[in-house]
Amino acid sequence: MEFTSIYEKFAFHLSSPHDDGEGKILQVLSRHALAFLERETSLKLHRLMAANHPKGWEHQPYGKTLISLTTYDSSDTALRTLSVLLNCMRDPFMPAALAERHLSCLMRIGGILLSPENTIVQVHGLDQYPFFTVQHTVQYHAMGYIDTRTDRLLAYLLEIAEGHERQQSQEKANGGAIYWQLILSLKLVLLHHTMASSTASRPGYQYAESLASLVNYVSQNKWYHAGFPHRYADYLVCTTDNKMHIEDFILACRTLSQPPLCPSELGTMDRTLCLETAVAVLQAHRREIDLSTAGTKLVEELMSEWVEDPDGALRWLALTWRKNLATRG
């Protein structure tokens, strides 16, 4: 059983929250997640082995052991470690002090992984992308978990990513583009969490306003190549918390496609993104719409309004929706 699995199974029993032992073990886990930082040391060791051992040493038992100890897989090792730390932090039986230590550890690892110098690194002559470990963690381990520590972690990562994006884009046109997907993903996950705890009587309006704010963010920053909104369809699905019904999402789409949230001036980036976001939300909830008689009726009413709209783009979006629906049917 690998170290991370052992830790996840016995973390609660390893030490008292007031004991330094937990901190030391977390340091080991941190090094496990950040092993790529030792790549220069590993390369030096490999060169020493090559200089002092016969050719083919890497195929000998001792050579294979050395290679396995100094090989880093950014898409597996770090992701697994972050997943374990997240699970331990969220454990309802974990003492608060230990949970806070796990949160601090995750923040530190995340901050290092998001550093510009760690976007692409060379490991044993191959390109590795430690940076994307954070993106994968957000995508696979953040959406379904709504708690204050997770939100604090996501907000911290968002602050770090936005800071690096601004700095890199000041130095070079679109220099921070590598951070765009992560920033938008984090914003959408945090929005999902906000809507899950919303007490608004008409959450559809609140959701539409939040999406319009995100549209404005993308437009003002001129992130034309971020793929928003369709690349983020997975983050637009948030009915599992039962706080919003399908009718609320359809109301959000209607609101987002009309003034004042959607600018009336044709051809603007804001208007285009508002309309595309409304369509993306509908597409993300197509299954729920199909299963709801009321939802199907509301969407058809919305499509009828779009067909009659003076803007031919809305008519085209509505006809495309109906065509896809007919094709699926």
| Same structural domain, 15 and 160 | yes
User: What pLDDT is recorded for position 303?
Assistant: 96
229 close to 185: Cβ distance less than 8 angstroms: no
pLDDT tens digits, residue range 238-271?
655 557 889 999 999 999 999 999 999 988 999 9
Share of the chain above pLDDT 90, in %: 47
Q: Is residue 296 part of a domain?
A: yes
Residue 203, both tokens: 């959450």
Last residue of a domain, one of 182, 213, 242: 182
Determine the average pLDDT of the residues in 51-57: 86
| Same structural domain, 35 and 127 | yes
Please report how many Cα atoms fall inside a 13 Å half-sphere around the Cα of residue 94, on the Cβ side.
24
Share the mean pLDDT of the chain: 84
| Same structural domain, 10 and 97 | yes
| Same structural domain, 21 and 146 | yes
Question: Strands 126-128 and 121-123: what pairing?
Answer: antiparallel
| Same structural domain, 21 and 168 | yes
Residue 150, both tokens: 């997770």
pLDDT tens digits, residue range 178-227?
999 999 999 999 999 888 888 888 899 999 999 999 999 999 999 999 99
Q: Is residue 6 part of a domain?
A: yes
pLDDT at 100 over 70: yes
Give the three-class secondary structure for 127: strand
Last residue of a domain, one of 182, 210, 243: 182
| Same structural domain, 242 and 311 | yes
| Same structural domain, 163 and 26 | yes
Neighbouring residues of 245: CB distance < 8 A, sequence distance ≥ 6: 239
User: What pLDDT is recorded for position 1?
Assistant: 41
Please report how many Cα atoms fall inside a 13 Å half-sphere around the Cα of residue 169, on the Cβ side.
15
pLDDT at 139 over 80: yes
User: What pLDDT is recorded for position 223?
Assistant: 96
pLDDT tens digits, residue range 266-324?
889 999 999 999 999 999 999 889 899 999 999 999 999 999 999 999 999 999 988 87
| Same structural domain, 33 and 62 | yes
289 close to 282: Cβ distance less than 8 angstroms: yes
pLDDT bin (cut points 50, 70, 90) of residue 9 is low
Last residue of a domain, one of 125, 148, 182: 182
212 close to 166: Cβ distance less than 8 angstroms: no
| Same structural domain, 167 and 202 | no
| Same structural domain, 173 and 215 | no
Is the bond leading into 92 cis (omega within 30 degrees of zero)? Answer: no
Q: Is residue 192 part of a domain?
A: no
> What total number of domains does the chain contain?
2
Domain housing 213: 198-329
User: What pLDDT is recorded for position 189?
Assistant: 93
Burial class (CB in 10 A: 0-12, 13-18, 19+), 259: exposed
User: What pLDDT is recorded for position 289?
Assistant: 92
User: What pLDDT is recorded for position 124?
Assistant: 57
pLDDT bin (cut points 50, 70, 90) of residue 34 is confident
Q: Is residue 191 part of a domain?
A: no
Of 162, 278, 262, give the one whose Cα is nearest residue 230.
278
Its pTM stands at: 0.85
226 close to 184: Cβ distance less than 8 angstroms: yes
| Same structural domain, 166 and 202 | no
| Same structural domain, 129 and 263 | no
